[in-house]
Structure 1
C-alpha cells in the first residue's frame, strides 16, 4: 500500500487478509522475550504487516495496537476507550488516583490547564540555559575520560538534574526520585506488587514533602508548578488535597523514565552512522529536525494503555468491554501506510509532524516541549565535543519501555 502524505486514519485500511473476531486465544508475541536493539522493530514489522492489532496472552491477555491509525483511533476516541481503569500494561498495584493521567475529560482538565501553563514557549526559553548547563556538566567528564556507558552515566542522570530545576527541588531530592522511580518501574516489570506499593508510598511521601514546603506561600504560583496546583480553584473551591498530592506524585515521576532509555537510542544510531554524525556536526541547525526523526524511529513507549468502555471493533478486530489495550507507539511510528521507508532515518520528512511519540489528544504529553529542549541540547553539546563509536552491544530495557539501558561508547575529543 502506498504511504499517504498526511495521517488521516479514515483513509488507511488494515492489511489485506487481516484476521478478525476470533483471535482472543492467539498469542502473537511475548512482551517479555529477550531483545536486541533491532529485534523488536523487526518483530513488530512482521506482525503489523499481518494485522495491526496484535494479541498476547501475557499479563492476563491484552491487545496491542501496532498500526498508526489503529493506535490513533484508540487514543483519540475517549467515548470508547478510557485511561481511568488501566493506563499501563502490565497492570500493577493501585496506590491512588493520580491526575491528570487517571482521569477522563472533563475532570482531568482542571489539572491539565495548570500543567500546560508551565510548558509554554517563554518558559521553555527560560529553562534552556539551565538544561544546557546540566548537559555540559554531565558530558564534560565523560568526554575527558574518553569512554562511558551513556545510558547509566548520562541518560539516567540528566532527567534528575533537569527536573530539579523545573520543579524547584534540590538535585539530591530529584536524584532520589529518579532512583526510586527506576526501581519502581523494575518492580512493575516483574509484577512485584509489594515492592511497587512500597516504592509508590515513598514517592507519595516525597510529593507530600514538596507540597508541605510550599504551604507557607514562599513559592510563587507563577513560577512553581506545585504552588500553582495548590492555589488553583475549581468549582468554587481549591482542588482536593488528595488529588493535588496524586498529581504531584504523578508529575515528579512522569518524564523520568522515558528520556533515560531514549537518549541512549540516539547515541546508538549516531555511533552506527558516522556520516550522519559528521553531517549534523557540520550542520547543527539540522539537529532539531534530526531529533524529531529519532523520536519517530525510537519512541520508547509501548506499555501505556487504554481500556475498552464497551464492546467495539478496531481494524475489524472485535474488542470486548474491559479489555486492556497496549499503545505500542514504538511500532506505530514505523507504519509504512503513513511513513515511507519507515525503518530508515530520513531527515526533514514531509510528514514528520505526524509522528505520535508524545501521544495525541486528551492525554498527549504536556512535557514534550521540555523533552525536546533536553534532547536537542544533548546532541548539540555532544556533537560539538567529540566523535563517538560503540565499543560493545547495547543492552536493552524490558517491556513496558523500549530502549537502551547500556550504551558503551568511546569518545574522540575534537
Structure 2
C-alpha cells in the first residue's frame, strides 16, 4: 500500500464484510492514520487505542462540526450527537434519566411481549404460505433484519418515548426509507422522510408541553425539565431535533445487529444449541456479538488543533473517522479478533457502544 500525504486509500466499492475488514486490517498494520479524498476528504483511524483516545477526548476531538461521514446532505446538526459540552450536557442528562434500571425493569415485560408478537406474526405468515410439504417458497421467507428487526425496534422506541401504538408501523416504514435515502445521499428523499420524522417529534413535544409526564419515565418531559448553560429553557427547535435524533438512532442499529446475530447463529449451530440450553449465557454472547458486528462502522470527530499521531500530522479542522468496526478487531487488544469467543476476559473493553460523553445513550436499553 502506497503511503502519501494526499491519499492513502480508497474505500472499497464492496459491502462484503470480510473485504471491508481486510481493508481495515491492511490500514491498521501499514497506515494506521490514513487519508482519503472521498466524501470531501477525511482521516481514518483503525487502531483500538487511537480510536479510544479520540472518542474519549472531547476537548480535542469535537462533534459539533461533523459527526458522521458521509454527513447529512442538508448539513443539519442535532443535539446531543452534534453538540459538545457544555451544550451537550442537558440533552444527555435528560435522556439518561429515562434509562435508569428501574425504568428498564418496567419496560422489560412490555418489550418481551412486543418481541414475541412481532416474531410470531412473521412466523405464522410464513407458515400459512408454505406448501403442503412444509417447504416455504422463496417469496415467503422471513427477513429477520428488515422485517422483525425494524418492527421490533419501532416498538422499543414507542415504548421508551410513550408514543401511541399506531405510531410503531409508521415509524418503522419512515425510518427505513430515511436510512436508504441517506445512504444514497438522495437529498430530496432524505428531506422528505426526515420531515415526517420531524412531524412525529414536534407532535410529541407539543403534547408533553400541554400535558407533562413523569420526567423519570418520559424522555420528552425530561428534556423539557432541563436548562441550557445560560440557565434558560432549551430552545424548542433543538428539543425537537433531540427527539427526532432519538427516533432515528434507535431504528438504525437494532435491525443490523439482529440480522448479524441470526446470520452468525445459523452458521454456528453448536453455539445456537449452547445458548438455547443455557440462556444465562446470552448476555455475554450479546457483548461478543456487539464487538464482532458493531452496527456503526464509526463516527466522526474534528480536531480543535493539529494532532501528531504515528509520525503524521492531522491538521486542525479536518474530519477524522473513529472506526469502531476496525478497533473492535484489533489483534493487539482482542485475541483471535475475527472469531466469536464467548466470555472473553476483556470483552468489556469493546467499543461497540462508543466511548466517553458520546457513548450510546440507549446502551442499557439495547443490551436488555
**TM-score with structure 1 setting the length:** 0.80
Distance of aligned partners of 1:317 and 1:175 in 2 relative to their CA distance in 1, 3 Å threshold? farther
Distance 1:131 1:351 in 2: 30
1:71 aligns with 2:51: yes
Distance 2:316 2:59 in 1: 12
2:130: which partner in 1?
A: none
Q: CA deviation at 1:96?
A: 4.1
Query: Aligned match of 2:225 in 231, 239, 243?
Result: 231
1:245 aligns with 2:240: yes
Gaps of 5+ in 2: 128-140
1:258: which partner in 2?
A: 253
- Conserved? CA contact 2:69–2:300, under 8 Å: yes
1:283 aligns with 2:278: yes
1:304 aligns with 2:285: no
Distance of aligned partners of 1:354 and 1:104 in 2 relative to their CA distance in 1, 3 Å threshold? same
Q: 3-state DSSP class of the match of 1:166?
A: helix
Distance 1:310 1:104 in 2: 16
- Conserved? CA contact 1:155–1:264, under 8 Å: yes
Structure (1/2) with the larger helix percentage:
2
1:188: which partner in 2?
A: 182
Q: 3-state DSSP class of the match of 2:166?
A: helix
1:160: which partner in 2?
A: 154
2:97: which partner in 1?
A: 117
Distance 1:152 1:299 in 2: 17
Large movers: runs of 4+ above 4 Å: none
Q: Relative contact order: is structure 1 or structure 2 higher (C-alpha 8 Å, sep ≥ 6)? A: 1
Distance 1:277 1:129 in 2: 24
Gaps of 5+ in 1: 1-17, 374-414
Indicate the larger mover: 201-210 or 286-295. 201-210
- Conserved? CA contact 1:300–1:329, under 8 Å: no
Query: Aligned match of 1:295 in 290, 294, 299?
Result: 290
Distance 1:168 1:300 in 2: 25
2:138: which partner in 1?
A: none
2:10: which partner in 1?
A: 29
Per-residue Cα deviation, 1:65-90 (whole angstroms, up to 9, x for no partner): 21111111111122221100011101
- Conserved? CA contact 1:65–1:327, under 8 Å: yes
- Write out aligned runs for 1:199-214 (5 A): 199-214=193-208
Distance 2:55 2:2 in 1: 22
Q: CA deviation at 1:192?
A: 1.9
Supply the RMSD in Å over aligned alpha carbons.
2.0
2:133: which partner in 1?
A: none
2:352: which partner in 1?
A: 357
1:197: which partner in 2?
A: 191
Distance of aligned partners of 1:50 and 1:98 in 2 relative to their CA distance in 1, 3 Å threshold? same
Indicate the larger mover: 189-198 or 343-352. 189-198
Distance 1:55 1:179 in 2: 36
Distance of aligned partners of 1:233 and 1:318 in 2 relative to their CA distance in 1, 3 Å threshold? closer
Q: CA deviation at 1:264?
A: 0.3
Distance 2:67 2:259 in 1: 25
Q: CA deviation at 1:29?
A: 3.3
Structure (1/2) with the larger strand percentage:
1
- Conserved? CA contact 2:68–2:300, under 8 Å: yes
Distance 1:232 1:205 in 2: 22
- Conserved? CA contact 2:298–2:325, under 8 Å: no
1:108 aligns with 2:108: no
Distance 1:75 1:43 in 2: 22
**TM-score with structure 2 setting the length:** 0.90
2:216: which partner in 1?
A: 222
Q: CA deviation at 1:218?
A: 4.9
- Conserved? CA contact 2:14–2:20, under 8 Å: no
